[in-house]
Amino acid sequence: MGYYPNSRESSISGRRTWNLFLFIKGTIFFCSILYAVFESLDNAVELGRDLAFIIASFFIYFKLIYFLLCADMVDEVIDGLEECYRWERTGPAAAGVRSANRLHYLIIMGMQMIWMVSMFVFIVLLISTPLWTQQDLPFHASYPFHLQDPSRHPRIHILIYLSQCFDILYFLTWLTCTECLSVSIYSQLTVALRVLCVELRHLQQLCNGDEDLLRSETRRLVTFHQKIIRLVDRCNEVFHAPLIMQMIVNFLLVSLSVFEAMMARHDPKVAAEFILLMFLALGHLSMWTKFGDMMSQQSIEVAEAAYEAYNPSVGSKGIYFNIRFIIMRAQKPLIMRAIPFPTFNMANYKAILNQCYGILTLLLNTLD
């Protein structure tokens, strides 16, 4: 059973109780690791590990609150995407549309599979942490009355260990699924833009000199383009807070995990855990920036496709005013952005990596 507290799910008493249980459990877990950080102030490696997992756990906790408040708005965006598929038509462009859908499906499934496999390895490492480190639990946590101490409370310690294993398995799997859902929304907007390009390029072939059909098709494509633009704007509004949080959290995790891997280089097992955490953060940010880049590039190609559809020898000026309108609107690329932060694209991704490298260099020089 997943955690997706929209209006329909919340109206079911069993689901509402389950969602409340997960939210309370996530709150207890986050508070326990946050309280434990004060015990690691005298050890730089342990402090860094605690901070890294506090940052990652805060992101998961933030997503729990986000879906608690905004699940219905995410549903609205998904419903809008479903309406986009109703704009597609059969005809000469059908083969190109299927090819575009197939290509984007393979791209997003490939990237998501890589991320899920990496997350699975990370989950195994976390659960097995007590086997190859001096820690008694997967996460350094602190509870009242030292309940986490195996020498004082052995049975409760086992329950806490099983509870943390459940938290790791459930919440990291849930996070993977919700992130795949969120990035798939932008991917489907990119597919819709590609479909628009394909239909524009086959417009003259479809109409075959029929002015009435050409007029109705150009109006349909203008409306389709406008709907995509509104959906992109709405997605940026709905995902404004998560996009900001993603950029901040990934920036902190990459900087901190690389620094801690350097600090723990004499302990290969601990260093490997931080390196994997770094790759997960980079992979997460890479996935979002890649699809943001693809959407921006595809939105610009709409203007080129509309120009190819322009044929002044067929149709009236009013018909081609619609095509010129598409060209004009496509001059400004559609972007994935959460103001005031920069756009999610590969250029800004490289800039973030440069900033991480600068912070890492500063920290290492400070220690030296």
Q: What integer pLDDT is reported at residue 230 of this predicted model? A: 93
pLDDT digits (tens, 9 = 90+) for 39-71: 888 877 788 888 888 999 999 999 989 988 888
Q: What integer pLDDT is reported at residue 314 of this predicted model? A: 66
Q: What integer pLDDT is reported at residue 133 of this predicted model? A: 73
Q: What integer pLDDT is reported at residue 316 of this predicted model? A: 67
| CA–CA distance, 3 with 135 (Å, rounded to integer) | 30
Give the global pTM: 0.86
Q: What integer pLDDT is reported at residue 124 of this predicted model? A: 87
The distance in angstroms from the start CA to the end CA of the chain is: 50
Pair 196, 101: CB distance under 8 Å: no
Q: What is the pLDDT along the chain (368 residues), one digit of tens a residue?
A: 567 888 888 788 788 888 888 889 999 999 999 988 888 888 777 888 888 889 999 999 999 899 888 889 999 998 888 887 765 566 666 777 787 778 878 888 887 788 788 888 888 888 888 877 777 888 888 888 787 777 888 888 889 999 999 999 999 889 888 888 888 899 889 989 988 888 888 887 777 777 788 888 888 888 999 999 999 999 999 999 999 998 889 888 888 888 777 777 777 777 777 888 888 888 888 888 888 898 999 999 999 988 887 777 666 677 778 888 888 988 889 999 888 888 888 888 888 778 777 777 776 666 55
pLDDT digits (tens, 9 = 90+) for 198-235: 888 888 777 777 778 888 888 888 899 999 999 999 99
Parse the chain into domains and list their residue ranges.
7-367
Rounded to 5°, the CA angle 187-23-60 comes to: 40
**Token couple for 72:** 């219905």
Q: What integer pLDDT is reported at residue 62 of this predicted model? A: 92
Q: Is the peptide bond before 154 cis (omega within 30 degrees of 0)?
A: no
